[in-house]
Amino acid sequence: MSEGASYDALLRDTAVALTAAGIDNARFEARLLLSHATGLTVEQLISRGPDPAPASARTALRDLTARRVRREPMAYILGEREFWGLPFKVSPAVLVPRPDSETVIETVLDLLPDRSRKLRILDLGLGSGCLLLTLLREYPQASGVGIDASEAALAIARANAEALGVASRARLAIGDWRQAGWSERLDGPFDLLVSNPPYIESAAVEGLMPEVATHEPRLALDGGTDGLAAYRIITAQAPKLVVPGGWAVVEVGERQAPEIASLFAAAGLAPQSARKDLGGIERVVPAQY
């Protein structure tokens, strides 16, 4: 990038570098990186396009671009991702919140339409906290317990709970369903259990897109040999964790819905038909106890 380059020139150079790295939407992402590097809004960047950019912005942009060229997810570079219209802090310790997971929120709102209920909600595998914390915003009288096996993830979820103003209604703790007795200290049972557990088959993780395979936490992705390890544990405990009449609503991987519905049924819950995400994939399995 040349000395005294304008914002427009930096934008162009960045878009070229991202395109060469095989990234779609290169110009859009370049704008976001330039905005992050300069502290200017996208609108300001457009109106100041021909002005020379300060050297500090050029250096910052070069570092951000190098990270993106290595296929680090945009959300980690920017430190934030929107979910259900809310800003969630993210780090490489947590899965980037995905639009697919908003199907969990939609399903819950559909099954439990009374927003004034004092629901008690449990989230298994919090990550950023996007499921539990969004639900606490949607149900202002609800309270929640969330666990995650990762200290670093828990720190992010706690920061999000504070920033979103729901920390006083959320008890977030370390917890690992791979360890015996994990479900005993949760203060259950709950009206609602939600989870987006790891569901990728172990052998398939490396074949995911590089943003996911190389940068997202394996702990949040790897669902064991057949992808269903976490669901076996969660469904088996569901009768202890959910009140009679209460719901379990879980995100699932592509083509997993029928098997997960069977796991719920075997545990004594009544699965409903799966809910589809915007891509038409069966993404959420609700089951009532």
Examine residue 208 and tell whether it contacts ligand GLN (CB under 6 A).
yes
Q: Which of 129, 198, 246, 286 binds ligand GLN (CB under 6 A)?
A: 198
- Hey, which residues between 16 and 75 contact ligand GLN (CB under 6 A)? none
User: CB-wise, 5 or 95, nearer to ligand GLN?
Assistant: 95
How many amino acids of this chain bind ligand GLN (CB under 6 A)?
11
What is the dihedral sign for C-alpha 241, 246, 250, 254? positive
If binding is defined by CB under 6 A, does position 196 make contact with ligand GLN? Answer: yes
Closest CB to ligand GLN among residues 10, 93: 93
Q: Judged by CB, which is closer to ligand GLN: 10, or 75?
A: 75
Please identify the residue of the shown chain whose CB is closest to the bound ligand GLN: 199
Give the span between the Cα atoms of 172 and 236, in whole angstroms. 22
CA dist 132 to 14, 106, 151, 157, Å?
37, 13, 17, 9
- 212 sits near ligand GLN (criterion: CB under 6 A): yes
**Does the footprint of ligand GLN cover residue 221 (CB under 6 A)?**
yes
Site string for ligand GLN, 86-125 (x = CB under 6 A): ---------x--x-x-------------------------
Please, which contacts does 210-217 make with residues 24 or more away whose CB atoms are closer than 8 Å? 210/71, 211/71, 211/72, 211/73, 212/73, 214/70, 214/71, 215/71, 215/72, 215/73, 215/76, 215/92, 216/73, 216/92, 216/95, 216/96, 217/92, 217/93, 217/94, 217/95, 217/150, 217/153
- Binding of residue 200 to ligand GLN (CB under 6 A): yes
Give the shortest CB-214-to-ligand GLN separation in angstroms: 12
Tell me the torsion sign for CA atoms 130, 131, 132, 133.
Answer: positive
Residue ranges in contact with ligand GLN by CB under 6 A: 95, 98, 100, 196-200, 208, 212, 221
